């Protein structure tokens, strides 16, 4: 049992935040992507296959979007990661980690 009530409260907030994020992620798992993730996913898949290099959509998206996320996704796609894993790894885990980092920032 945690004796310090402050630490118990923080642990509860972190756990609640993680549960809410994982619940909402699981709730929409049949809807694989939203618009932004579709754009980043298209850029990542194009980095691998180069099938759509001349499409106006991809040319426009590649000029307005930062390249780091599509590069990371393309690396994971090359080793066989699923879309489900990509969303979990690049959206949910950083979101949960941000709760912890905000606690550390405001606790010191």
Q: What is the value of pTM for the model shown?
A: 0.62
Q: In Å, how far are 6, 16, 44, 108 from 12, measured between CA atoms? A: 10, 6, 37, 19
Q: Which of 78, 85, 3 minimizes the C-alpha distance to 45?
A: 78
User: What residue ranges do the domains of the chain occupy?
Assistant: 5-107
Going by C-alpha positions, the residue among 66, 71, 65 that lies closest to residue 44 is 71
CB atoms within 10 A of CB 108: 5
**Confidence band of 32 (pLDDT split at 50, 70, 90):** low
**Does 2 have pLDDT greater than 60?**
no
């Amino acid at each position: 049992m945690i004796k310090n009530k402050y630490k118990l409260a923080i642990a509860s907030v972190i756990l609640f935040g993680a549960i809410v994020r994982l619940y909402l992620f699981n709730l929409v798992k049949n809807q694989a992507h939203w618009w932004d993730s579709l754009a980043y996913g298209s850029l990542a898949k194009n980095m691998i296959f180069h099938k759509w290099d001349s499409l106006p959509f991809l040319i426009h998206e590649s000029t307005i979007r930062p390249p780091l996320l599509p590069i990371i996704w393309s690396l994971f796609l090359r080793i066989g990661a699923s879309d489900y894993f990509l969303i979990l790894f690049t959206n949910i885990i950083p979101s949960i980690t941000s709760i912890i980092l905000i606690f550390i920032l405001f606790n010191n």
